[in-house]
Amino acid sequence: MYCYLNGDIIPTEQGSLQLNDLSLLRGYGMFDYFRTYNGVPFEFDSYWQRFTKSAAMMRLPVAISKTDAEAILAELYQRVQQPDIAYRFILTGGYSPDSVSMIQPNLIIKAENLPKDNPEGRTRGIKVMPFEFVRDMPEIKTTNYLHMIRLAHEMQAQGAADLMYHKDGLVSELTRSNFFIFKGNTLVTPNANILHGITRRVVLELAEEAFAVEIRPLHVQELAEATEAFTTSSTKWVMPIVQIGRQKIGDGKPGKNSLRLLERFDEKVAGYGK
Amino acid sequence: MYCYLNGDIIPTEQGSLQLNDLSLLRGYGMFDYFRTYNGVPFEFDSYWQRFTKSAAMMRLPVAISKTDAEAILAELYQRVQQPDIAYRFILTGGYSPDSVSMIQPNLIIKAENLPKDNPEGRTRGIKVMPFEFVRDMPEIKTTNYLHMIRLAHEMQAQGAADLMYHKDGLVSELTRSNFFIFKGNTLVTPNANILHGITRRVVLELAEEAFAVEIRPLHVQELAEATEAFTTSSTKWVMPIVQIGRQKIGDGKPGKNSLRLLERFDEKVAGYGK
């Protein structure tokens, strides 16, 4: 695999950061992540916009333009020689002389293998574990994933694929993906304390054609009334959720409306860039 | 400067981490930081205990024993050839094959120059900026210092040296140090949502001899009644706070009780290890 690191394209295993980077010392970093379909970066305009907006909120200058970024993505794609890949942008606070001051960010763009697909998850649905938490600055894709990593064993022990964050009675999101429920033919997804996922937006656009859509605070108690639930991300697409903690959703199987959205999403990406 | 990195002692500028370390990808890291007096690590037993306890809470195995650690500290001290230095322990989630799974932590112990002393701060006192926030898992010294770095410019513009965190009407701590007020001869410091500082503990022990001590929830409104305020950390010792946002504390000068504690602390460390 290859990556871009502050101006150079190099084999990823040769890349490294010094021990005074603020991501290591102070957790000061952000990232974005997306994939190609048919070799074309999916919805790159949206990802670039989110990345640069988040960078500005973290006061991190981005040293390259969108055109530069597109050229880097194209070169990485050519080197990797795979039909489809994922890209990870990482921007850190950079090397600090005193473990506090920011001088110049470090910018990394990694080409990565696509994560192992989970077709069984889509057929059978996944279980998630409720966890009381709300991300700090949820609209920014910071690199703070403390609980996801820390609670990996508990999740495994419970057969859960992820955490579902809730706080003050409101559901927000999973650790790396957005959350939706169906009440009959009405789709509901939280409006606040979330990362505004690109796949979320695409799925909402697809949903509007067939369902009533409510983007609003989602109360934990409403989960009991959900007939279906699912989560969306760039690599999970529309992933049915059939159990939240001890609570079964609907009949405990992926719901027909969720599967219909998954089908529509499949169609969209199958032809993407062609 | 020198550091220990997973078993080797090397010049720090030669040390690096690969681009799949979970501190970079997921902000998954913790640390501890302390200094020597007269060449002897100050209160190392307490720091080691806190470090290993935090590591356990983050499910990060520590590959070395306390005896190993002491030998590493001694070797680093010998190489650096300075009368006094600081040590920074850093433990990360390690290199991850899939950006999520933990395999083996990376352990770094850096010898560092002591930060530039701030005698003017102790003479004139510092200003801090109130900020509504409570750290996630505050009892663990994670590497998440988002707001401290992000708001550096605002602090500079306001002439503030640090942020004072408060949430739901309660004061907790500064970004890297503990918080105290005096109401006359009664010392008050928050009991919860804080990192249990070693300097905090030492100062509380020194205070007991001369003052009434209350360790309890500290309400934001009480700041108006404070006759003095100060913060403690391993490198700030007892640093008087004379202004919080727009609010002057007492007569806007370092308080006599705070300075008395500073003097007692000075005496303690002056003879440390001798």
pLDDT tens, B239-262?
Answer: 999 999 999 999 999 999 999 999
The CATH 3.20.10.10 domain(s) of chain A lie at 119-270
Q: What local confidence, expressed as pLDDT, does residue B210 receive?
A: 94
Q: A25 to chain B, minimum CA–CA distance in Å?
A: 6
The closest alpha carbon to B77, from B2, B13, B5, belongs to B2
Does the beta carbon of A218 lie under 8 angstroms from any beta carbon of chain B?
Answer: no
* Helices and strands, counts by H and E, chain A: 8, 17
ipTM computed for the complex = 0.93
- The upper half-sphere exposure of residue B41, i.e. CA atoms within 13 Å in the direction of its Cβ, equals 27
Q: What tokens appear for B21 in the block?
A: 């370390």
pLDDT of residue B116: 87
Q: Which of B19, B21, B27 sits opposite A142 (nearest CB)?
A: B27
Chain A partners within 8 Å of B146 (Cβ): 26-28, 58, 136-137, 142, 144
Which residues face B91 on adjacent strands?
B30, B107
Q: Does B59 contact A142 at a Cβ distance shorter than 8 Å?
A: no
Find tokens 């806007």 and name the residue. B252
Q: Of A26, A90, A148, which is closest to B145 when you measure between CB atoms?
A: A26
DSSP A21: B
Q: Do B92 and A146 touch (CB under 8 A)?
A: no
Residue B7: C-alpha distances to residues B63, B107, B166 (Å): 9, 8, 40
Inter-chain CB proximity B144 and A148 less than 8 Å: no
- Count of beta carbons in the 10 Å neighbourhood of residue A78: 10
Q: Tell me, what's the pLDDT at B274?
A: 87
Please judge whether A98 and B115 are an interchain contact, meaning their C-beta atoms are less than 8 angstroms apart. yes
A90 Cβ contact list (under 8 Å, min separation 6): A23, A29, A30, A31, A106, A107, A108, A109, A110, A143, B19, B24, B25
Report yes or no: B129 and B24 within 8 Å, Cβ to Cβ: no
B186, B214 contact by CB (below 8 A): yes
Rg over alpha carbons for chain A, rounded to the nearest Å, is: 19
Write down the pLDDT at residue B92: 98
Q: Look-up: residue for tokens 């391993």?
A: B234
B162 interfaces chain A, CB cutoff of 8 Å: no
Secondary structure (3-state) at A185: coil
Q: Do residue B24 and residue A27 have CB atoms under 8 angstroms apart?
A: no
State how far the Cα of A227 lies from the Cα of A211, in Å rounded to an integer. 14
Task: Measure in Å the smallest separation between the Cα of A54 and chain B Cα atoms.
Answer: 12
Kindly tell me if the per-residue pLDDT of B118 is higher than 90: no
Q: What is the CA radius of gyration of chain B?
A: 19
Report pLDDT digits (tens) over B165-198: 999 999 999 999 999 999 999 999 999 999 999 9
Which tokens in the block code for residue A160? 């859960």
By residue count, chain A amounts to 274
**What digits encode the pLDDT tens for the residues A26-59?**
999 999 999 999 999 999 999 999 999 999 999 9
Contact with chain B for residue A8, Cβ under 8 A? no
Residue B100 and residue A24: Cβ atoms within 8 Å?
no
With beta carbons under 8 A apart, name residues in chain A contacting B16: 16-19
Local confidence band at B2 (pLDDT 50, 70, 90 cut-offs): very high
Distance from CA of A227 to the nearest CA of B (A): 31
Whether B226 and B183 have beta carbons less than 8 Å apart is answered as yes
Asked if A11 reaches chain B (Cβ–Cβ under 8 Å), the answer is no
> How far A257 CA lies from chain B's nearest CA (Å)?
30
Other residues' Cβ atoms within 10 Å of the Cβ of residue B211: 17
Who among B28, B98, B145 is closest to A146 (CB)?
A: B28
Closest CA to A51 of A89, A103, A98, A13: A89
Nearest to A128 by CA among A150, A153, A159, A152: A159
- Residue at token pair 């916009």: A49
Q: Which residue of A has its CA nearest to B145?
A: A26
Mean pLDDT of B14-35: 97
Inter-chain residue contact B100 with A23, CB threshold 8 Å: no
Does the distance separating the beta carbons of B28 and A145 come in below 8 Å?
yes
Of A148 and B117, which is predicted with more confidence?
A148
Among residues A19, A35, A20, the alpha carbon closest in space to that of A236 is found at: A35
Give the side-chain half-sphere CA count within 13 A for B245.
Answer: 10
pLDDT band at A116 (very low <50, low <70, confident <90, very high): confident
Of A24, A90, A92, the CB nearest to B29: A24
Q: How many whole angstroms separate alpha carbon B114 and alpha carbon B97?
A: 36
Looking at chain A, the domain(s) classified CATH 3.30.470.10 span 2-112
Q: How far is B83 from chain A (nearest CA, A)?
A: 19
Compute the C-alpha angle B168/B169/B172, nearest 5°: 90
Give the number of other Cβ atoms within 10 Å of residue A123's Cβ.
Answer: 11
CB-nearest partner of A28 from B28, B145, B153 = B145
Q: Is A29–B27 a contact, with Cβ atoms under 8 angstroms apart?
A: yes
Are the C-beta atoms of B33 and B234 separated by less than 8 Å? Answer: yes
Q: B204-243 pLDDT, tens per residue?
A: 999 999 999 999 999 999 999 999 999 999 999 999 999 9
Q: Is the pTM of this model over 0.90?
A: yes
Residues of chain A found within 8 Å of residue B145, distances taken between Cβ atoms: 26-28
Best CA proximity match to A231, nearest among A213, A220, A244: A244
Q: Check CB contact under 8 Å for B90 and A21.
A: no
Residues A101, A29 contacting (CB under 8 angstroms): no
User: According to the model, what pLDDT value does residue A46 have?
Assistant: 96
Interface check for B181 against chain A (CB to CB < 8 A): the answer is: no
Is A102 close to B144, i.e. CB distance below 8 A? no
The Cα–Cα gap between B118 and A79 comes to 52
Which chain B residue has the Cα nearest residue A2?
B19
Query: How far B114 CA sits from the closest chain A CA (Å)?
Result: 10
Question: Mean of the pLDDT values across residues A102-112?
Answer: 97
Chain B residue at shortest CA distance from A25: B143
Which CATH number applies to B2-112?
3.30.470.10
Is 90 exceeded by the pLDDT of residue B113? yes
B76 in Cβ contact with B41 (< 8 Å): no
For residue B19, give the nearest of A149, A55, A112, A114 by alpha carbon: A112
B:47-66 residues touching chain A, CB 8 A cutoff:
57-59
Across the range B7-33, mean pLDDT stands at 97
Considering the four listed CATH numbers 3.30.460.10, 3.90.1300.10, 3.20.10.10, 3.40.640.10, the one that applies to the domain covering B119-270 is 3.20.10.10
Closest-CA residue to B23 (of B197, B152, B145, B139)? B145
E strand or H helix at A89: strand A86-92
Q: What is the pLDDT of residue A133?
A: 96
Position A118 pLDDT exceeds 90: no
- Interchain contact A1–B (C-beta under 8 A): no
B29-85 pLDDT tens trace = 999 999 999 999 999 999 999 999 999 999 999 999 999 999 999 999 999 999 999
Query: B24, B101, B134, B168: which to substitute to probe chain A, counting the most A Cβ within 10 Å?
Result: B24
Per-residue pLDDT, averaged over A84-99, amounts to: 97
Could you tell me what percent of chain B has a pLDDT over 90?
97
Per-residue H/E/C for chain B? CEEEECCEEEEHHHCEEECCEHHHHHCCEEEEEEEEECCEECCHHHHHHHHHHHHHHCCCCCCCCHHHHHHHHHHHHHHHCCCCCEEEEEEECCECCCCCCCCCCEEEEEEECCCCCCHHHHHHCEEEEEEECCCCCCCCCECCCHHHHHCHHHHHHHCCCEEEEEECCEEEEECCCEEEEEECCEEEECCCCCCCCHHHHHHHHHHHCCCEEEECCEEHHHHHHCCEEEEEECCCEEEEEEEECCEECCCCCCCHHHHHHHHHHHHHHHCCCC
